[in-house]
Amino acid sequence: MDWPALETFARRPRDALMWLPRAADVARIAAALRVAGPRVADVGAGTGLLAVLLEREGVAVEATDASPPAVRYHPVAARPADALPPCDAAIVSWMEAGKDYREAVARLAPVIVNVYDVEGGCGVMGAVDFAPFGFAEAASWRTPSFEDAEFALDRKGRLQRKGYPGNRIDVLTRDPALVPRLRAAARDAQPKGPLPWERGMDEVSL
């Protein structure tokens, strides 16, 4: 497989992901998903890159997207959130423009992993948006966005952009009994090794 380069994330995010995962991010997400259960759906999966990374961690993912892009790293079914069957956990990191799938995603699973732009560009905003459906935050952390990568590449050695890092990952659940287990799993997860683009991230201080 030809992995995307840092330049791809920054300049053509729809050919990679709208955010830059490190191995630690993938390990933490995978650990939380293992607590949730074996049936995992990635809603708005885009290229399916996150699904591939999670499957390398032993987590099988059904990747779906209302409008899958041409570039794909994993099979991505053309299905919107409101057409999916129930599962143990749902990943949501992008919503189709003009659509509100929060209720549909909330019905899908008792655990949601929400990856979103803290400035609101992805259409979903973690615990704030899912609280009306009974979800509470079990874990949360920040990651760089594609905009952070573009800024860093264009201004090497200079200050970070305002709002950096621009993406956030929230692990949410509507099952109170799962909160401590999800929190511990995300906290204690250990990455297996750096991802191919992490060296580039280090070089520009992402």
Q: What letters, b where the CB count within 10 A reaches 16 and e where it falls short, cover 172-205?
A: bbbeeebbebbbebbeebebeeebebbebbeebe
Whole-number average pLDDT of the chain: 91
Looking at the domain assignment, is residue 68 inside a domain? Answer: yes
Residue 95, domain member (yes or no): yes
In contact, 130 and 172? CB cutoff 8 Å: yes
At residue 120, the pLDDT reads 61
pLDDT in tens, 41-77: 999 899 999 999 999 999 999 999 988 999 999 999 9
Residue 133 domain flag: yes
pTM over 0.85: yes
Assigned domain for 1 exists: no
46 occurs within a structural domain:
yes
Per the structure, the count of domains in the chain is 1
Dihedral angle computed from the Cα positions of residues 87, 113, 134 and 64, in that order, rounded to the nearest 10 degrees: -40
For residue 64, give its domain range. Answer: 6-203
Return the pLDDT at 121: 57
pLDDT at 176: 97
User: 126 lies in a domain?
Assistant: yes
Q: What is the pLDDT of residue 123?
A: 56
Domain holding 44: CATH number?
3.40.50
Q: How confident is the model at residue 5 (pLDDT cuts 50, 70, 90)?
A: very high
In a domain, residue 150? The reply is: yes
pLDDT of 192 above 60:
yes
